Chains A and B, each alone.
Chain A
Amino acid sequence: MFSGFMVNTWTVATIVAVIAGVVGFFVVLRGSAFPAHAIPKGAFAGAAGASLLGINTLIGLGVFSLLAALGIGRLGRRGRSDVVTALALVLMLALGAAFLSRSSQYEPEIYSLLFGEILGVSTTEVVPVAVLGLVCLAAVIALYRPLMLSSVVPEVAEAKGIRSHRMQMIFLVVVAAATTVTVPVVGALLMFSLMIGPAAAARALSSRPAVAMVLSVVIALATVWGAIALSYHSNWPAGFFVGAFGAVCYGLGRGCAALRRRGAGQQSPAIAAATS
């Protein structure tokens, strides 16, 4: 299980889990689950387009996820953001369908883009993933304070001169970068599960931001490692385990939180509202 080609898998999966844990924490905190779902899924079209043109998939993913982030951020200012997100998503997917109909892509390739191919990572894929992953983490660290402020107390952030629209735009770009890193490995759809499940569980377990963020990364790592191990032994797709683990983690997190609340008496209403 740890021999030869599997080394790449473990390395890349670890990078992906760390990014998903960190970025996912902010996704859950800001309540932007829908854009976080739409950007990776829409980026899938970019991969299809890139393979039609015969260029590197990573470029196609990057361009499309960036376009999605900017489009959702820009149009979301005027219209309803959930409507705009949905429409941007379907537009990109429609483009993807058109690209696919033109190319001679065959089934397994579409499948691996959507659901990932975590057991077949080549050495050349590791370096770009690591570099982009570091960029992503650096961006989150640099933006940590303003991002946290505008997520938790948007009014205070506005008063301090942090424009919430601009922050949302920047955050969506970070999500886009994370997407570009992770989609070739875990797939467009599972990137989302990996961002939401662990982060939601971490939020339920701790109301302190720093602790919750570390927990989120730890749970994401456990999820990915567990999924790979089970997938290796059962031959079932890793994505299934990632999705299932995410939900189980969240359920356990909520259960623990409920137990603790009963033990500690009443929680303050503000925290209760934020975590529920």
Chain B
Amino acid sequence: MGAVFEPGFFTSGPVHVAIAIGTVVAVVSAVTGVFTVMRGQSFAGHALTDVATAGGSGAFLIGMSPLLGFVGLSAVGAGVLEMIGVQRARGRDLATGLVLGVAIGLAALFLYLDTTATATTGATQQILFGSIFTTQASTIPIVVAFSAVALAAIAIAYRPLLLSTVSTDIAAARGASVRAAGLLFMLALSVSVGLSSLAIGTVLSTALLIGPPAAALRLVTGVGRALVVACLIGVGATWLGVLLAYDSYYWGSSHQALPVSFFIVAIVFAAYLLSGVRARARTGQSQAAARGRAATQGQAATPGRAATHSHATG
């Protein structure tokens, strides 16, 4: 035990806060992320983190809570993205890029004013690379409240969202309000991005949003199971990341801890690579099985299963 958990890990206040916030953020990111990955909106999800950077640095400037800036501006950004046409993938990439460009410009301005107009230092570092160990315990209720909003939005839009994710045309034909579902989803996405920006920094929040869901979608078939697996991977990576970052203070003689975000991202990336190995093995198996079935019954693999499979592995 002593070798794994360095002294003081379980009694340290910042670690408790980090674990609590990290868990909440990881769950919300994983749930929103599964839809983000399935809808092919990774770029939008990432762009919103940069929009959030502008919001966070702006809030810093006028002395507001960065969390409000993060969530507020990324919600506005999500609204703009949804508004300027997101149906075709190509146009969407360009629109996302332009919103991103404006956000970066604003962030440049706000961060510049942060460092020159106010006497505070560390704004750039803190906003970009996160501050999970320096977060105040008092922000936990706010984080939980925002998470509840994001999860509620996903829960309300779950059915139409799922339908429109698979096929916009079918969803529209069935009378599902594709537009409303998309908007609710973007709201959830912006809240989740704002939260993870706080926890592991705007620059790295993409990792929790995309990594665990992408790995989960390669590991299991079916959206329900993917949601569960994504949450497990996300929470696991966050806990392990916090532990390793805490331990890293005792590595070597320099007594300089490595950042939490570094460990979380490294674990998430490893999970994604490993899921690829497993998915490939499974594809091989199912192909062999399909060949076997085709040989005995004279038909290919069951269409439904094949469809969900190819959808999940993409």
Contacts and interface: CB of A to CB of B under 8 A. Distances in A.
Interface in A86-107: 86-87, 89-91, 93-95, 97-98, 100-102, 107
B217 to A, nearest CB: 9
Contacts of A34: 42-43, 46, 93
B98 interface: yes
Contacts of A100: 125, 129
B85 A192 contact: no
Contacts, number: 183
A111 B115 contact: yes
Q: Is the interface of B mostly helix, strand, loop or mixed?
A: helix
Interface stretch (A3-11, A130-138, A175-183, A232-240): A232-240
A274 B266 CA distance: 38
A184 B273 CA distance: 32
B309 to A, nearest CB: 15
Interface string A192-211: 11001100100000000000
The SS class assigned to the A binding surface is helix
B276 A33 contact: no
Contacts of B201: 97
B98 A250 contact: yes
B124 A110 contact: yes
A100 B43 CA distance: 25
Given A83-B42, A87-B210, A243-B106, A98 B101 contact: no
B257 A193 contact: no
B104 A91 contact: no
B210 A115 contact: no
A169 interface: no
A243 B105 contact: yes
Interface residues of A, number: 54
Interface residues of B, number: 60
Contact of A115 (B112, B262, B269): B112
A90 B314 contact: no
Interface in A11-68: 28, 31-34, 36-37
Given A34-B42, A189-B104, A86 B206 contact: yes
Nearest to B260: A97
Contact of B105 (A33, A90, A108, A240): A240
A58 B155 CA distance: 48
Given A90-B207, A93-B203, A107 B122 contact: yes
A239 B121 CA distance: 20
A94 B265 contact: yes
B93 A101 contact: no
Interface in B141-199: none
Interface in B73-120: 85, 88-91, 93-94, 96-98, 100-109, 111-112, 115
A230 to B, nearest CB: 12
B222 interface: no
Contact of A80 (B37, B104, B264): B37
B214 interface: yes
Given A97-B204, A197-B101, A91 B88 contact: no
26 contacts: A31-B93, A34-B93, A82-B42, A86-B46, A87-B207, A87-B210, A90-B203, A94-B204, A98-B259, A107-B115, A114-B128, A115-B108, A190-B108, A196-B94, A196-B97, A196-B101, A236-B109, A237-B108, A237-B112, A240-B105, A240-B106, A242-B105, A243-B106, A246-B98, A250-B98, A276-B88
Interface of B: 37, 40, 42-43, 45-46, 50, 85, 88-91, 93-94, 96-98, 100-109, 111-112, 115, 121-125, 128-129, 201, 203-204, 206-207, 210-211, 214, 218, 256-259, 261-262, 264-266, 268-269, 272, 276, 314
- By Cβ-Cβ distance, the 3 closest A-B pairs, closest first, are A243-B105, A94-B265, A239-B108
